[in-house]
Amino acid sequence: MELASARLHKGQISWWGLLLTALLLTTWSPPTTAKMTIEAVPFDVAEGKYVLLRVVNLEPGIRAFHWFKDNAERENELARYILAEKSNRSGMAYSGRESLYSTGSMYIHNVNKDDERTYIIQIVLEDYAMKRMNTTFHVHIALQKPSITANNYSPIEGGDSVLICEPYTLHTNYRWIRNGKSLSEGDRLKLSEGNRTLTLLSITRNDTGPYECENRNIVTTNRSDPFSLNIAYGPDTPSIFPSDIYLLQGSNLSLSCRAASNPPAQYFWLFNETSKASSQELFILSVTTINSGIYTCFVNNSGTGLSRTIIKTITVLEAVTQPKVYAINTTVIEEESVTLTCYSNDTGILQIHWLFNNHTLQLTKRMTLSNKNSILTIDPTKREDSGEYLCEISNPVSSKRSNPVRVVIKSLRAFQSNGNAAIMIGFGLVAGVALIAALAYFLYSRKRKTGGGSDQRDLTEHKPSAFNHNLGPSDNSPNKVDDVSYTVLNFRDQQPKQPASACPPPRAKESLYSQVKKK
């Protein structure tokens, strides 16, 4: 216990160190030269290729090499090499495809399946002792470039097709590629055992390809040329171009019918159920209204036996004529209403559009359109409604604008002032006419009461001097003139009814005199 727990002095070795040293001395031995062996490179050889039977870690002091196949009998000797003579000699089994080197290695080219044997090397040492080693290799068939066959090269969309990778070779693996991507079993793909056969289920037009198949064994890999299927499909529902359904009279009708189809479809045109053309295009020069009707495109695919139709109704229209705008009154008082009517002789498919001061009319709450927009009513009007109004009529192939109609909206206050002035002028005119009529009536009545010339003399005696002065020369004048008679006319008041706010003019109650020339 005491020696075990004591500290070691300098130069002393522990007991476990001595044990480790003894163990190393008993197990370690100095390295020796690597053992000489023989190997085939490559071990798996493709038929028609080459193989090297290589000697590894060649020992010194060798006199000669002898190569045999199957056994070391003389008749099976392929070749020998004598180092002292540096000479190479062929044996009885030499085929002309073997080459022997000074290193002892032997090269065999253009190998075939019959070369798949056991190869033996016999080494003659310096003391004429002999050492033998052997090796083997496998020869595999070189695969040919594959090709693809099909049970149906032109399947119909929705059907099936089987692709086969040829030729068939034992111990060979197969792989299918489409558009550069490896295929595996799925919803519509089925692979046979070994993958040599690919079955396409419920084919679509997108399954056209290209397809490639690849064959492979341990030594070779080959790929076929691309292969594509000619899948018949369609016709799909056709379309007619252009999409226009209205034509201006005198223009040309040009229709084209198209439908996806393989093989290309056949096209037929009908007009109102009457055969028109057997082509994809239909052209009619300078159409009239009699060309309006139903155009049918009939499409047929002889490959699938399917057909489709599409119809288009074409309407030929005449160009519209210029419309006119009518209004009962184009000058109105503010807050009253105004009505504008757009009139056209055209019939058929028409649209009416109103413009105000050459811009699209922006309808307000005070504006209404009626009778298919032909009547525009503004109620009540405002000063800002003054301006030029016009209408534009159009059908799907033409349009025309009317001449503008100017509408003036006057303010109520200005209209009242102008109205009062007009009333006063009118009243004055009426009063003047009434005075003249009263004078004429007075003269006529007076004449009837007095009767004959005495009445005329009495009247002459009482006439005012002013009238005597104005009417002409007196009885004493040397130039005698015709007698003048007077009649007094008396009219009752004749005046228009005035507004309550207007002041009535004075009544005309006096009697007027009229001078009547006596024949």
8 Å CB contact between 269 and 293: no
Q: How many structural domains is the chain composed of?
A: 5
> CATH number, domain at 174?
2.60.40.10
- φ, ψ for residue 129 (rounded to 5)? -75, 150
The tens-digit pLDDT sequence of the chain (519 residues) is 332 333 333 333 443 343 333 333 333 444 445 788 999 999 999 999 999 999 998 888 899 999 999 999 999 999 999 998 888 999 999 999 999 999 999 999 999 999 999 999 999 998 888 999 999 999 998 899 999 999 999 999 999 999 999 999 888 999 999 999 999 998 899 999 899 999 999 999 999 999 999 999 999 999 999 999 999 999 999 999 999 899 999 999 999 999 999 999 999 999 998 999 999 999 999 999 999 999 999 999 999 999 999 999 999 999 999 999 999 999 999 999 999 999 999 987 789 999 999 999 999 999 999 999 999 999 999 999 999 999 999 999 999 999 999 999 998 776 555 555 556 666 667 667 777 877 777 777 666 655 444 343 333 333 333 333 333 333 443 333 333 333 333 433 344 443 333 333 333 333 333 333 333
Full domain range(s) for residue 95: 38-140
Does the CA dihedral 89-93-98-101 come out positive or negative? negative
Statement to judge: residues 107 and 136 lie in one domain: yes
Statement to judge: residues 134 and 191 lie in one domain: no
Q: Which amino acid is at 284?
A: I
Q: Which of 121, 140, 159 is the last residue of a domain?
A: 140
Statement to judge: residues 248 and 204 lie in one domain: no
Statement to judge: residues 253 and 292 lie in one domain: yes
8 Å CB contact between 139 and 111: yes
What three-state secondary structure class fits 206?
helix
With respect to residue 88, please indicate whether it lies within any of the assigned structural domains. yes
Statement to judge: residues 161 and 103 lie in one domain: no
Q: How far apart are CA 297 and CA 447, in angstroms?
A: 103
Is this prediction's pTM over 0.75?
Answer: no
What's the pLDDT at 492?
A: 38
Statement to judge: residues 103 and 57 lie in one domain: yes
Statement to judge: residues 380 and 450 lie in one domain: no
Statement to judge: residues 358 and 446 lie in one domain: no
- φ, ψ for residue 203 (rounded to 5)? -60, 140
With respect to residue 17, please indicate whether it lies within any of the assigned structural domains. no
Q: Which of 140, 175, 196 is the last residue of a domain?
A: 140
Q: How far apart are CA 360 and CA 433, in angstroms?
A: 52
Statement to judge: residues 219 and 135 lie in one domain: no
Q: Which of 164, 191, 223 is the last residue of a domain?
A: 223
Does the CA dihedral 448-450-454-457 come out positive or negative? negative
- Tell me the Cα Rg of the chain: 65
8 Å CB contact between 513 and 439: yes
What's the pLDDT at 458?
A: 37
Q: How far apart are CA 79 and CA 95, in angstroms?
A: 10
Statement to judge: residues 382 and 463 lie in one domain: no
